Structure 1
Amino acid sequence: MGKDCSTLLMGMKLLGATTLIILLLTSSTTSASSIKNNEESYLNWVRRMSSRNHSNFLDAKNKFHPCKTIKVNKNPKLAHFTTLDAAISSIPLFNPCRLLISVGPGTYREKIEIPMTMAYVTLEGAGAGKTIIRWDDTADRVGPNGQPLGTYGSATFAVNAPYFVAKNITFKNKAPPPPAGATGKQAVALRISADMAAFINCKFIGAQDTLYDHKGRHYFKNCHIQGSVDFIFGDGLSLYQDCHLHAKTKSYGALTAQKRESMLEETGFSFVNCKVTGSGALYLGRAWGTFSRVVFAYTYMDKIITPRGWYDWGDKQRQMTVFYGQFKCSGPGADYGGRVSWARELTKQEAEPFISLSFIDGHQWLTNF
């Protein structure tokens, strides 16, 4: 992941009165009363942008009932195909209806990408402990074009098409955990770069940059996500509900790196009724984006969470623009007393927009979940 920061100039032209809030927040001469007033204005903006209607996104027109089932199994007598790649290659490039790919138990050593035109694909395994898709690419590995794959290209499984659903399956990047300070070792297990995707009872296993929550509205329900550094990252608008977030590091790590770059973006990560466990010392998030936005609600946090909780990516200006909040979290790592001053202990009113399916317009496209 890069460390680029977007400028505020374009946002200033477009946001009008909202720009004044940012200017005041970042001014060293702003009075205490002005900061308080503008803080409330900023929170009002957050609540408005987190309402049911996300105008920057298309209306959802999902299709739930499959018109065809394709069976994948290691045993050719039990399936249409023995590999996922063959099954996906059999789907029309412009897929018009919900298509179910039923994947039998076993480890499938494949690198898969769903093209952007292949909408309405459901991938269902025999259980997250039984059906595993595995590869081992890293960002510095040279690809077919002779250039490094980069973080984006390192994914074991990549989805570019809308309305994707995965159930009861594990996505794994088996690249070994990198030593401290190593570069080019990002190793993505799954990249989701499309709108309106749902993952139910899935596992995502990796080390650095496990789950690339790249862009679009996403729903993760009862999933297990494991990694070390920035293991949930990207610029998606995503709700994680009843998920187990497990850190595996011997030193410092970070759970999230959300990349919201301007106040115009309606993106952010919300974790509701989740559990955070593991080893090492873990930040809840790092401000990859200037306007990074992450909320934890009703979440259990083990003692691995650092008291400060959050890191500004080495840029103090981001302390004025990020939105990091907790609401009614529990456990030894949830103690708000040692948190950075620019994190928030949310009120019920402030937390409300983040804790239901409305955060991701789920009332439109998740009616069957």
Structure 2
Amino acid sequence: MAFMPRIILLLIASLSLQVQALPHALVKRASRTSPPSGCLTVRNSGTKSGEYATLGSALSALGTSSTATACIFIYSGTYNEQVTVNYKGPLTIYGYTTDTGTYKSNTVTITSGISSPAAGSLDKSSTVNIVSSNFAAYNVNFVNSYGKGAQAVAVTANGNMQAFYGCAFKGYQDTLYAKDGDQYYSNCYVEGAVDYIFGKASAWFGECTIASNGGGAITASSREDASDPAWYVFDHSTITAASGTSLNGQVYLGRPWRVLARVIFQYSSLSNVVNAAGWTTMAEGATPIYEELGNTGDGASTSARRFLTKTSAAVTKAQLWPSSGTSWIDSSY
């Protein structure tokens, strides 16, 4: 009987090695299918007592004067509304999902279809206009369905330390107004055609999918002062065409909305949608800082690039956010 423990130990060791050898993709990711403790609950179908039928009504219940930490959980559904987030304390919005690690399993969509000319301004056309600092959203789709013909914003992000995890932003022209402040986008999806990521935030796009649904420029940075820390950093992201769209060579990485635009694509996959010139013009007299480092794919060659600033060092989060640091982002993403 003395040999049994050794056999058992060998079996345990063998099983351990098999588990370690399993591919990472087989590890089940977390789901979020019920409200975290303390969250207000939004449900647009079969709303129960104590719940809210819209995101707007839940935000109204929170008010705009409290500084307490708050959260809102949204059940599956399409919510046709325009909302402004102006809560004074830290606020997190969670969408129902069976896989928190990706936008691909999102079941919550907030949508509207108003253009900037009709609304009176870019901010007012936004499906969701976020002016709060210390804000986070998980697994929510934000859509402006207006389509071609005018600027129409899905989200205006206009606050410091705003973070989006596994979210999707969909529009055509001016989809995501990353307007100002330190911002973090992780495992997100951004879709559009013309200047669809624009503004002057210090924004990090990590492991995101940037998908064009028409020809045009992806970014339009409005940085115009040399002391302005504004910078768009695309890190380990994928630049491609939206599903069902063929755009070989019709997409530019950016054009300068203001004269000192600053953007870098680093360690990312650039598909054949990217035009060989890489970057194009907008603001007269612009001297943009456009950088590319360590990218791969059919659109990654820089031999014919215009306006390219040479760089040999990747941008870091600490460099991007010298004042805010990195403690405010969810490092599990």
Rg larger for:
2
Counterpart of 1:343? 308
CA positional deviation for 1:313? 1.1
Distance 1:98 1:177 in 2: 39
What letter is aligned with 1:213?
A: A
CA positional deviation for 1:322? 1.3
CA positional deviation for 1:95? 2.3
1:258-297 Cα distance to aligned partner (Å, 9 max, x none): 1101102111100000000014311100011111000000
Secondary structure at 2:232 match in 1: strand
Structure 1 gap segments, 5+ residues each: 1-65, 144-148, 179-184
> Is 1:301 aligned to 2:278, yes or no?
no
Secondary structure at 2:263 match in 1: strand
Alignment of 1:103-118 (within 5 A): 103-115=74-86, 117-118=87-88
Counterpart of 1:228? 193
TM-score using structure 2 length: 0.80
Distance 1:367 1:302 in 2: 29
Identity over the aligned pairs, expressed in percent? 27
Distance 1:262 1:194 in 2: 19
CA positional deviation for 1:78? 7.2
CA positional deviation for 1:157? 0.3
1:240 corresponds, among 186, 191, 205, to: 205
Runs of 4+ residues over 3 Å off in structure 1: 355-358
Distance 2:126 2:79 in 1: 15
CA positional deviation for 1:161? 0.9
Counterpart of 1:277? 240
Distance 1:201 1:258 in 2: 23
Counterpart of 2:126? 155
Alignment of 1:85-164 (within 5 A): 85-115=56-86, 117-127=87-97, 128=103, 129-141=106-118, 143=119, 149-164=120-135
Q: How many residues align?
A: 281
CA positional deviation for 1:67? 8.1
Distance 1:222 1:238 in 2: 14
CA positional deviation for 1:365? 2.2
Distance 1:245 1:254 in 2: 11
Counterpart of 1:171? 142
Distance 2:80 2:133 in 1: 24
Counterpart of 2:14? none
Counterpart of 1:359? 320
1:165-195 Cα distance to aligned partner (Å, 9 max, x none): 00011000011222xxxxxx10100001111
Cα gap change, 1:208 to 1:344, in 2 (>3 Å): same
TM-score using structure 1 length: 0.73
Structure 2 gap segments, 5+ residues each: 1-35, 98-102
CA positional deviation for 1:240? 0.5
Cα gap change, 1:119 to 1:323, in 2 (>3 Å): same
Secondary structure at 2:57 match in 1: helix
What letter is aligned with 2:317?
A: S
CA positional deviation for 1:356? 3.2
Distance 1:73 1:67 in 2: 16
Distance 2:272 2:49 in 1: 47
CA positional deviation for 1:92? 3.1
Q: Pairwise CA RMSD of aligned residues?
A: 1.7
Distance 1:362 1:187 in 2: 32
> Is 1:204 aligned to 2:181, yes or no?
no
Counterpart of 2:155? 190
Secondary structure at 1:334 match in 2: coil
Counterpart of 1:324? 290
1:312 corresponds, among 281, 287, 290, to: 281
1:44-67 Cα distance to aligned partner (Å, 9 max, x none): xxxxxxxxxxxxxxxxxxxxxx88
CA positional deviation for 1:367? 5.9
CA positional deviation for 1:153? 1.3
Secondary structure at 1:363 match in 2: coil
- Is contact 1:111-1:134 (8 Å) kept? yes
What letter is aligned with 1:344?
A: T
Pick 1 or 2: higher relative contact order, CA cutoff 8 A, min separation 6: 1
Distance 1:314 1:261 in 2: 10
Counterpart of 1:288? 257
